[in-house]
Structure 1
Amino acid sequence: MSDSPKTQPAGDQPSDAIDFADLNFKLAVIQELMYEQELLTPQFVLADFLEEHVDREVDLSKEISEPIPEVLDYFRALPVPSEFAPAVEELFQDGGNDIYMEIAPQWSGEDSTFDITDFTDTRHFPNLSAMTLLGVDEEVLDGLRRKGIDAQLL
């Protein structure tokens, strides 16, 4: 259990944490920083988190296609240090991303649960040059391309 978070993050963000406008954008960034680049540590492990931080029984053998509220709250409160922002060059949303499987283990990837709706958070990431996204339309993709981001729909 050494890789699991030992305490839930505080609700108040440290002054050097990025203030996200869109939770799903934040989740895409956490995917990149925690699971791809392994900069944001410790890596979240659902089973350990449930054992240590959830007071109710969560049966992972049953279909859990909706986000587990306590896990979503954990990621909502997790500070993402601004010092990591330059490391984010690409965001890749896929229904099988680790972060989504930690939040909703049986999520099909077929609905809008994790669709990003507000892209103002791109301003925090000066080196973001590519995004592969779920559930956006061509107008959104064009807007991102005008910002110099190679934006594609998965």
Structure 2
Amino acid sequence: MMVATEFPFDAVLGYDLAAPLVGIANRNARIVARAHPERTPMQAFSADALELEFAHRKLVIFLFNPFGSSVMSMLLDSLERALADGSIETLRVVYIYPVCAHLFDASPMLARDWSGCVPYDPAEIGYGTEERQDVVTWKSVAKPEHALSS
């Protein structure tokens, strides 16, 4: 979320089931807001990702391998419905450690936009076992014909 505040988004919102993590994220948000008042404000919420209503016309979703295939499939179904009904006009998905990339690749409403292995900043090396991270992004494409007629 902190990195996202460096970009000109309308809002930076985070969701997690773990209330203690949401509390930490919101404390960090206040620190970032004081240090960088020019950045987009961020806020975290305790919520189930499968119960979110996607009402943002242009949406960027950032995922750090949060779910297994069954939950990720349900989230993707929800995103596809929101694209089909126009709740989401454009969608970008940024997926770190993309274990379920095959689900997004199979979506008729998304096209793989970029994939690569991004090295960590030297100051970040040592917090985990890796020195780089796999990243894949997708963007929404024109609605399939069957979605346009329904």
Q: Above 0.5 in TM-score? A: no
TM-score (norm: length of structure 1): 0.30
Question: Which structure is richer in relative contact order (CA contacts within 8 A, separation 6 or more)?
Answer: 1
Greater Cα radius of gyration, structure 1 or 2: 2
